[in-house]
Amino acid sequence: MLSIIAAVSENNALGKDNKLLWHLPADLKRLKSLTMGHHLIMGRKTWESLGRPLPGRPHVVISRNKDFKHDAVTVVVSLEEALDFSKTDEQPFIFGGAEIYRLALPLVQKIYLTRVHKSFEGDAYFPELDPKEWQLIDKQEFEVDEKNLIPYSYEEYKRI
C-alpha cells in the first residue's frame, strides 16, 4: 500500500526556502513511528533539506540531475523507478516535496497528514484533496503544550 506522509498548514503550505515553517516534536515522533523500516521516497530538495538520512528507513531520492549521487541514498530519475525499487516494502511512503506529492497522489491509497492549525506563507504547497476521492477516516486534535507551540491535528485519509 503506497502512502503519503506530510505536515501542512491550514492553507496547505509545506515549506519555504527548502525549510519547514514550524517545529512540532510530537509530529516528528509520529513520523518516526509510522515510517520506521519503510522506504521514504522523496525529491532531491526534500533530501537536501533533511541534512542527513533518517535512521532505520531506506531513502529513495528522485532527481532529474543524472550527476546527483549520495552514498546514503538510492538515487533514481523517476517516480516509477522509485516505486519499482521500493516494491518489496508493503508500505513505502511518499515523503515530499510538493512536486513529488502531486505526481504520486493519483497512485496512493492512504494519506497521513499532520494539519498545523495556522496559515503560513510558503513556496511549496500540498495539493488539494478531492473529497470525491478521499475519505477522512481518523482525526485527532492536539492543543498547544510546552514542546508543541501551535495547535495541530493528525488526519488519516483513505482513497474512496
Q: Which pLDDT score, from 0 to 100, does residue 66 have?
A: 84
24/114 Cα distance (integer angstroms): 10
Report pTM. Answer: 0.96
Domains of the chain: 3-159 (3.40.430.10)
Pairing status of strand 124-125 against strand 40-43: unpaired
79/63 Cα distance (integer angstroms): 9
Q: To the nearest 5 percent, what fractions of the chain are helix, strand and coil?
A: 20, 35, 45
pLDDT tens-place string over residues 132-151: 999 999 999 999 999 999 99
Within 63-151, strands assigned E span: 74-76, 93-96, 110-116, 124-125, 134-142
